[in-house]
């Protein structure tokens, strides 16, 4: 009998891709939304269950049915970080994870699998230093958020749940995330490296991210923390050149940091947009996981060749 997978945050950029990927593979997939009626047309092929983590406990009947719970909830970081937004960035991740773990504690969870998102932002801004799962953490807002988010998720182990934490890099996909913001600017020929272009970008193709999640579900040897980034991070300058080439547009005007600060505010600019992380997927490579996309230009071409 095929496994039942519940995806918290299954309506998002990553969640909706992963849901379709696993459904095609023969899994039964349930997805959560705060507003199932609003999303019902887009997700007809799925069973959508209501869960608003700000006001409700995770539904017990879903945790009972699910062999695997994938947690991809999170208020978007791509907005100005006011005090209220910072609070929502934290609570949407940390409190929802806590509620999922509470649900595991209320049923017989032994043998279930929990795959929970985190981010490479945990390492902070590190210039060209090569970062593995054993590297130390940063101490900025995103680093602290990720530390607390991971520590809530790891508590699921106490209830016999195989727990896998994915420190996800910059996800390259057609329908959202980083590229959705960048593509219109590059298509107008206005793209350019950020400041001196030296910061490292650790990226992963969305199909490889979905393949890592499937690998984590199917191989019971997978447990603990994994960096989910391609084996070849690039500098912002290399990324900019490749993206402009794939879109067949020029990209010679560097975007100064002050312009980003005007558009996105100081904190998002410093902590996310201009921060450097050169991350290796050391533990996945040790397990023999093979990335389909390890060259950034090939990854971008696969998304924009149409
Ligand atoms: N995209 C990336 O490059 C990237 C990189 C590293 C880590 N991540 C992490 O991976 C997770 C998924 O990312 P994504 O890009 O797919 O995000 P997304 O498209 O913004 O989707 C996030 C999901 O979370 C739910 N959500 C949003 N705000 C919420 C709030 N305030 N309270 C409760 N639920 C809320 C939404 O579901 P409903 O509106 O249907 O309820 C949505 O389906 C996030 O935690 C993100 O931090 C993403």
**pLDDT, tens only, 108-161:** 999 999 999 999 999 999 999 999 999 999 999 999 999 999 999 999 999 999
Ligand 1 mutation target, pool 9, 121, 209, most atoms within 8 A of CB: 9
**According to CATH, what is the number of the domain 4-172+204-229+278-291?**
3.40.50.720
What does pTM read for this prediction?
A: 0.97
What DSSP letter does each residue of 164-188 carry, written as one string?
EEEEE-EEE-TTSHHHHHHHHHHHT
Where are the chain's structural domains?
4-172+204-229+278-291
Q: What is the predicted pLDDT for the residue at 177?
A: 87
Ligand 1 atom nearest the C-alpha of 77 is: 47
SS3 per residue for 268-288: HHHHHHCCCCEECCHHHHHCC
Ligand 1 atom nearest the C-alpha of 38 is: 40
Please tell me the distance between residue 76's alpha carbon and the centre of ligand 1 in angstroms.
6
Q: What is the predicted pLDDT for the residue at 306?
A: 67
> Both tokens of residue 67?
């062999």
Q: What is the pLDDT along the chain (306 residues), one digit of tens a residue?
A: 689 999 999 999 999 999 999 999 999 999 999 999 999 999 999 999 999 999 999 999 999 999 999 999 999 998 888 999 999 999 999 999 999 999 999 999 999 999 999 999 999 999 999 999 999 999 999 999 999 999 999 999 999 999 999 999 999 998 888 888 888 888 888 888 888 899 999 999 999 999 999 999 999 999 999 999 999 999 999 999 999 999 998 887 788 777 778 777 777 777 777 899 999 999 999 999 999 999 999 999 999 986
Q: What is the predicted pLDDT for the residue at 1?
A: 67
Ligand 1 atom nearest the C-alpha of 14 is: 16
Fill in the DSSP letter of residue 2.
P
Ligand 1 atom nearest the C-alpha of 178 is: 3
SS3 per residue for 36-62: HHHHCCCCCCCEEEECCCCCCCCCHHH
Check if the beta carbon of residue 5 is closer than 8 Å to that of residue 67: yes
Task: Indicate whether residue 92 lines ligand 1 (CB < 6 A).
Answer: yes
Strand partners, 162: 113
Task: Indicate whether residue 53 lines ligand 1 (CB < 6 A).
Answer: yes
Please tell me the distance between residue 65's alpha carbon and the centre of ligand 1 in angstroms.
23
Task: Indicate whether residue 170 lines ligand 1 (CB < 6 A).
Answer: yes
Could you give the C-alpha distances from 76 to 13, 41, 154, 223, 257, in angstroms and in order?
Answer: 10, 22, 23, 27, 21
Task: Indicate whether residue 4 lines ligand 1 (CB < 6 A).
Answer: no
């Amino acid at each position: 009998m095929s496994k039942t997978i519940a995806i918290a945050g299954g309506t998002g950029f990553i969640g909706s891709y992963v849901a379709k990927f696993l459904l095609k593979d023969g899994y039964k997939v349930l997805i959560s939304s705060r507003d199932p009626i609003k999303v019902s047309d887009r997700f007809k092929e799925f069973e959508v269950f209501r869960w608003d983590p700000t006001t409700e406990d995770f539904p017990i009947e879903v945790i009972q049915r699910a062999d695997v719970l994938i947690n991809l909830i999170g208020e978007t970081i791509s907005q100005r970080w006011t005090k209220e937004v910072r609070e929502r960035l934290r609570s949407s991740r940390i409190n929802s994870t806590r509620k999922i773990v509470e649900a595991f504690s209320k049923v017989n969870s032994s043998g279930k699998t929990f795959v929970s998102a985190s981010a490479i932002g945990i390492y902070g801004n590190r210039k060209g230093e090569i970062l593995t799962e054993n590297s130390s953490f940063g101490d900025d807002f995103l680093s602290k958020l990720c530390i607390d988010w991971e520590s809530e998720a790891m508590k699921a182990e106490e209830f016999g749940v195989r727990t896998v934490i994915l420190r996800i890099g910059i996800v390259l996909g057609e329908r959202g995330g980083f590229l959705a913001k960048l593509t219109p600017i590059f298509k107008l020929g206005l793209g350019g490296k950020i400041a001196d272009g030296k910061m490292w970008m650790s990226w992963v193709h969305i199909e490889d991210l979905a393949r890592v999640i499937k690998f984590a579900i199917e191989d019971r040897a997978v447990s603990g923390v994994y960096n989910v980034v391609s084996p070849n991070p690039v500098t912002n300058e290399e990324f900019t050149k490749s993206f402009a080439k794939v879109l067949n547009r020029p990209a010679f005007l560097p975007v100064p940091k002050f312009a980003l600060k005007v558009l996105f505010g100081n904190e998002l600019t410093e902590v996310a947009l201009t921060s450097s992380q050169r991350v290796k997927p050391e533990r996945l490579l040790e397990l023999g996981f093979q990335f389909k996309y390890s060259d950034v230009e090939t990854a971008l071409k696969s998304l924009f060749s149409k």
